[in-house]
Amino acid sequence: MSARYDIHDLQEQEMVLNMGPQHPSTHGVLRVVLNLNGENVRKAVPYIGYLHRGTEKLAEVRKYYQTLPYTDRMDYLAAPSNNLGYVQAVEKLLGIEEDVPDRARYMRVLMAELARIASHLVWLGTHALDIGALSLFLYCFRERELINDMFEKYCGARLTTSMMRVGGMPAELPEGWVQMLEDFLGIMPERIDEYENLLTENPIWIRRTQGVGVVSPEDAVSLGLTGPCVRGSGVNYDVRRARPYQVYDRLEFDVPLATEGDVFSRYQVRVAEMRQSLRILRQALDQMPEGPWVAELPDYVLPSKVDAMTSIEGQTRHFVLTIHGYKAPPGEVYKAVEGPKGELGYYIVSDGDSKAYRMHVRAPSYYNLAALPLMCENRPVQDVVAVIGSLDIVLGEVDR
């Protein structure tokens, strides 16, 4: 390499810029190789896989109940959504979906919606931080802390919750938990107003986000964008509506849509979604019946601790389920949930053993990230940061 540079040559050549894998705005370990012509991105090629842990392979050598904790580690900002997707798929495979008691279903919806709000709060804080609105990050994390406290009170963990079981939930809501949720529901609407006051009419925010990273509805569907990314382009697709699971068919909520398909639209959709989640939480809390929180299915559900410790039958069942697990009938199922990022689907193939023959995760972040080149090519380089933020990727889920 010659030590002398001619300034005119430099200006005419395309510059290759490695963005990441340690760049703070890539939300983890994403590397994007940008070919730049001056400030304009000619070509953007994402490189992923830095967090690949082989979850799908591991699921083939773990029993069904042992795979559950691995699902937390995919979308680690909304672990309950992943837990829900996985247990639903296994329940569908076993054919016990109808046996899950109502209370457990409502509890699952509560947890999944709290996870959605928590995930959107992290997205909003970091997305605004990337673009330069530093203060919002602290406000968002203040409220997310309340949700993490609720998770902690319920299951002892704040991020990697593993809080659902095949057949229901592991425990009753602890004393005081409902009050925590009531308090949260009380303060959250005005807190969302507060975020909106900081951003929605902020001229800098608008100029950085409007008309940036535009994707047409046809492209959005063909690219397989899901969640707020596809709804930001005006396509009305929400798994909670299209194929209702748990008790979403009994709850009243709107699917927020925006029309422009740009970064600002996706921002509007997510903020509106947080308000809808609060609505769902309110209804679910009011409708939630008393009763058992786990199904009466001795073949699949561990006995209660009291049973396991005091009766011989309970103890035997506990050992058998822990050591041998349960066998699933041969077949294949696909079951999806609307995670915070989009359609999170589990495809499980069983050959009749106590382990999945094949488990595949349809990760929304993975396919949403595939839209990055289309959204930021022939745009200035600073838009790449805004687009990555608006896609709301979690690299743990992209790489699995």
Partner 1 sequence: MSTEDGQADPGLAVTRLRDALPDAVVEVGVHRGDTTVVVAAERIVEVCRLLRDDPELRFDYLVDVTAVDWLHREPRFDVVYHLFSISRNDMLRVKIRVEDRQPVDSLAEVYMLANWGERETYDMFGINFAGHPDLRRILLPEDWEDGFPLRKDFAIGGYGIWAADNVPFR
The residues binding partner 1 (CB under 8 A) are 48-49, 52, 54, 56-58, 60-61, 92-93, 95, 219, 221-224, 235-237, 242-243, 329-334, 336, 343, 345, 347, 349, 351, 357-358, 360, 362, 366-367, 370, 399-400
Encoded tokens for 166:
């095949």
Nearer to partner 1, 138 or 242 (CB): 242
Supply the minimum distance, in Å, between the C-beta of residue 306 and partner 1. Answer: 34
Supply the minimum distance, in Å, between the C-beta of residue 343 and partner 1. Answer: 7
* Separation between Cα atoms, residue 377 and residue 397, nearest integer Å: 24
CB 350 within 8 A of CB 374: no
Nearer to partner 1, 224 or 380 (CB): 224
Nearer to partner 1, 181 or 223 (CB): 223
The residues facing 336 across adjacent strands are 345
* CA 112 to chain CA centroid, nearest Å: 9
Supply the minimum distance, in Å, between the C-beta of residue 288 and partner 1. Answer: 27
Nearer to partner 1, 118 or 220 (CB): 220
Nearer to partner 1, 187 or 242 (CB): 242
* Separation between Cα atoms, residue 309 and residue 315, nearest integer Å: 6
Supply the minimum distance, in Å, between the C-beta of residue 34 and partner 1. Answer: 17
Nearer to partner 1, 145 or 332 (CB): 332
Supply the minimum distance, in Å, between the C-beta of residue 318 and partner 1. Answer: 24
Nearer to partner 1, 31 or 191 (CB): 31
CB 223 within 8 A of CB 371: yes
Nearer to partner 1, 43 or 318 (CB): 43
Supply the minimum distance, in Å, between the C-beta of residue 67 and partner 1. Answer: 14
CB 262 within 8 A of CB 232: yes
Could you list the beta-strand ranges (E) of the chain: 15-19, 31-37, 40-47, 331-338, 343-350, 358-362
Closest CA to 165 of 233, 111, 229, 230: 111
* Separation between Cα atoms, residue 300 and residue 313, nearest integer Å: 15
Residues with Cβ < 8 Å from 58, sequence gap 6 or more?
Answer: 67, 70
Supply the minimum distance, in Å, between the C-beta of residue 28 and partner 1. Answer: 14
Closest CA to 332 of 360, 295, 365: 360
CA distances from 340 to 69, 84, 312, 387 (A): 19, 12, 43, 17
Supply the minimum distance, in Å, between the C-beta of residue 77 and partner 1. Answer: 20
Nearer to partner 1, 146 or 363 (CB): 363
Nearer to partner 1, 205 or 367 (CB): 367
CB 390 within 8 A of CB 357: no
Residues with Cβ < 8 Å from 239, sequence gap 6 or more?
Answer: 226, 245, 336, 337, 338, 343
* Separation between Cα atoms, residue 27 and residue 372, nearest integer Å: 14
Q: What's the DSSP call for residue 348? A: E
Supply the minimum distance, in Å, between the C-beta of residue 162 and partner 1. Answer: 22
CA distances from 311 to 120, 296, 307, 317 (A): 45, 17, 5, 10
